[in-house]
Amino acid sequence: MSIMADSIGWASSSVLVMTLFTQVWKQWSDNTSKGVSPWLFIGQLCASLGFLAYSIQIHSWVFVVTNTLTGIAAVLGMCILWRHAHRRRRSAA
C-alpha cells in the first residue's frame, strides 16, 4: 500500500476514534447518559469485533487498530451508561 493511502487511513482512523472517545468522555464528565441508547454501544461493539476479525484476516493494520479502539470505546460507553442507570435506580429506591 502507498504512503498516501496509509496516511489517509491513519488520519481517518484518528478522526473516528477521537469522535467516539469524545462522546464517551462527555457522558463521563457530564455525569449523565440521558438520551443515549445502550443499543448504540452494543451495535458498535458487535461491528467493531466483526470488522476486527476481518481486518486481521486481510492484514489491514489501520483497521485492526481502529476497530480495537472503537471496541474499547463501546465497552467504556456501556460501562458508563450502566453505571448511570444503576445510580438512578438506587436513588429512586
Residue 1 has pLDDT above 70, yes or no: no
Closest CA to 40 of 51, 52, 24: 24
> Is the distance from CB of 64 to CB of 56 less than 8 angstroms?
yes
For the stretch 53-64, what's the b/e string if a residue is b when 16 or more beta carbons lie within 10 angstroms of its beta carbon?
eebeeeebebbb
Mean pLDDT taken over the chain: 93
- The answer to which of 36-40, 60-64, 89-93 has the lowest mean pLDDT is 89-93
* Residue whose C-alpha cell is 498516501: 4
> What is the pLDDT, as a whole number, of residue 88?
86
For the entire predicted model, the pTM comes to 0.89
Average pLDDT over residues 10-26: 95
